[in-house]
Amino acid sequence: MRFWDWIYRHFNWIGERILKWFPNISDSVKKSGIHVHSEVYASFTGFMFLVSLVASISLIVLAVFLFPNPLLAIILIVLPTIVLLLMVSLPSFIAANRASSIDGEFPFLSAYLSTMVMSGLSPYIAFERVLRGSIIFKRSSELAQRFILLSRVLGRDPLTAFDELAKRAASSRVKETLSGYIATVKAGGDVIDYLNKRSRLLFSEMLVGMKIIADRLGGLLEAYLAMVLLTMISFTVLYFVTTGFAGVVPFGLSSEGMFFFLYIVMPLLSGVIIYLADLLQYKDPYIDWKPYIVFFATFIPIILVLSLFGILFYLMLPPYNPLRLNPVTQLIGRILLLFGVGNPPGYMYSTIALSTALIIATIPGFIYYLYTSREYKVVKGITRFLRDLVEVRKTGLPPERSIIELSSRDYGVFTQYLRKVAMELSIGVPLRRIIDELMKKIRSWTGQVLLFILTDSIEVGGGTVEVLENLAWFAESVEAIEDEKKRSLRTLMIVPYMGGILSAVTVIYMVSYMAKLPVQVGAFGQAAGLVLPSIVLNNYIMGLVAGKISSGRLIAGLFHAILLTLISLAAILILPLFMG
């Protein structure tokens, strides 16, 4: 607090001017959740602007005497303005990120609230009860915490507290839902019917949104394919013409420029596509980071070792050095013999070694992903279980006894968990304790939410048929949304495959054609050794793009990365044979 007090005391004069220039700062700070007043944040923005201005002037003075460069001077002059714009835009960026994370949770939170109200709780108590599920509703529980602060600590009535939450909400879904609830209460309407219909509307909007997302991703991938094919083929042709006819053609690309384009610009372009796809796609609020951790923990050391023994030693050491005869190079030689290719040209070796290294280093992470991805199928089993639970409850059996009766049926991955729940229920363990332990083992966030709502509905209202019917409908809606997402995005992954295969085939044909021309052997080998490994690397990254597009998770692209790398390797080994 002393720091913020000092900032406000000494820089309030510039903060007031910034608020006049950018009046939207106040609203953005409230929605972003930054726990400072807008006047204090504006004062801090002015402080950062003055610091950058002083630093920029000092660096310009030093640059004039030490490094006289007009471009550097221009960058230093623009730097304070960039800092000011970034600080002004930062609350908006934080608010947008917060809104997107809440939007992913809120349809499920709305389903939980409608289920709790149908079970007999008042909407206010149900909203406060969200704090009990703060591990699941991580972002939405902040709204419940603020509601408790306004109503229980500051003494606001519940409607006024909801109105203040709506004004500060970064998410439009939260704002519309709370405003609609306030209007329903003031008009004397049916709150249960409103919450139920609002929840169904949110799930319907998610289902329609999947089709819109698919259309946008399709346009994005078409632009990506055009950029990859046109730029890579054009630059490769220009580079080979420059290299092969250096004595005739006085212009063209240098090796440094081609390296920058193939190994820096192209991967960055694919990274931008992955980032844009992540912004467009619907994402679960919870991300399981374990497959990513396992992948990097195995990929990095394996790729370093294989690159050292399989590529660097071969390229750097003399031809007859014994270190060249290491297990990795011998393995590559045996693989080539299996394909019927023996003694390939020297310029192809680094490409073959890189393909082999990428495939071997990716396999452990891919195996672990296959093992964990099976657990995500638990949602289908839970959905079928909830539908059967509704039918069994109609016979008059209590919820706990109904669960025990259903444990003998097959629900896929969920069967093993259900049988354990039924066994502990039969010996008298409370359902709440059983489900709390079970949710620690289930990886799927959606599965955790459904079990949490089921437990609370049984605990609060006894799990009536109407409540369970409503919950089963929500579960089936979630499954329909997942199926629609897979159907709409599955066809889009063809685009990265087309880009990878066409670019590999075109460039390899170009290399094979240039090998027949009377050009300098050394210059051609250097050019081919620079271009061909980039084909493998960029196709590997395109596989990650295909996984991100098709499933929404980057780790799912490991299979496509391995497959595209194998396709590139096969093209490099086989296509030159057709050209003699």
Residues 303-327 pLDDT 10s:
888 777 666 666 655 666 556 666 6
Residues 1-31: tens digit of each pLDDT? 577 788 888 888 888 888 888 878 777 777 7
Contact between 170 and 157 (Cβ < 8 Å): no
Both tokens assigned to 342: 């023996």
CB distance 483 to 377 below 8 Å = no
68 pLDDT higher than 80: no
Please report the pLDDT score of residue 521 as a whole number: 53
DSSP string across 443-468: --HHHHHHHHHHHHHHHHH---HHHH
- Evaluate whether 7 touches 40 at the Cβ level (below 8 Å): yes
Token pair listed for 538: 């960029």
Question: Would you say residue 283 has pLDDT above 80?
Answer: no
Task: Give the pLDDT of residue 313.
Answer: 60
Q: Once rounded to an integer, what is the mean pLDDT over residues 493-519?
A: 75
Give the integer Cα–Cα distance in Å for 14 and 562.
56
The rounded distance, in Å, linking the Cα atoms of 345 and 347 is 6
Q: Per-residue pLDDT for 140 more than 70? A: yes
The CB density around residue 26, as the number of other CB atoms within 10 Å, is 16
Query: Does residue 107 carry a pLDDT above 80?
Result: yes
Break the chain into its structural domains and give their ranges. Answer: 3-98, 119-189, 208-355+486-579, 376-480
- φ/ψ of 428, rounded to 5, equals 95, 10
Q: What is the average pLDDT value for the chain, to the nearest integer?
A: 79
DSSP states of 136-164: TSTTHHHHHHHHHIIIIIS---HHHHHHH
Angle among Cα 76, 80, 83 to the nearest 5 degrees reads 120
Of the candidates 196, 172, 92, the one whose C-alpha atom is nearest the C-alpha of residue 467 is: 196
Whether the Cβ atoms of residue 507 and residue 415 lie closer than 8 Å to each other:
no
Name, of 157-161, 320-324, 507-511, the range with top average pLDDT.
157-161
Radius of gyration, alpha carbons of the chain: 30
Residue 265 has what DSSP assignment? Answer: I
Q: Read off the pLDDT of residues 430-455 as tens digits, 9 standing for 90 and up.
A: 888 888 888 888 888 888 888 888 88
Span of 100-109, 329-338, 528-537 with lowest mean pLDDT:
329-338
- Quote the CA–CA distance of 358 and 295 in Å, as a whole number: 12
Tokens 């939410």 locate to 449
Q: State the CATH class of domain 376-480.
A: mainly alpha
Give the pLDDT score at 557: 87
Candidates 127, 102, 101; CA nearest to 113 is: 127
pTM of full prediction above 0.85? no
Q: Is residue 486 scored above 60 in pLDDT?
A: yes
Lookup: tokens for 35? 């726990």
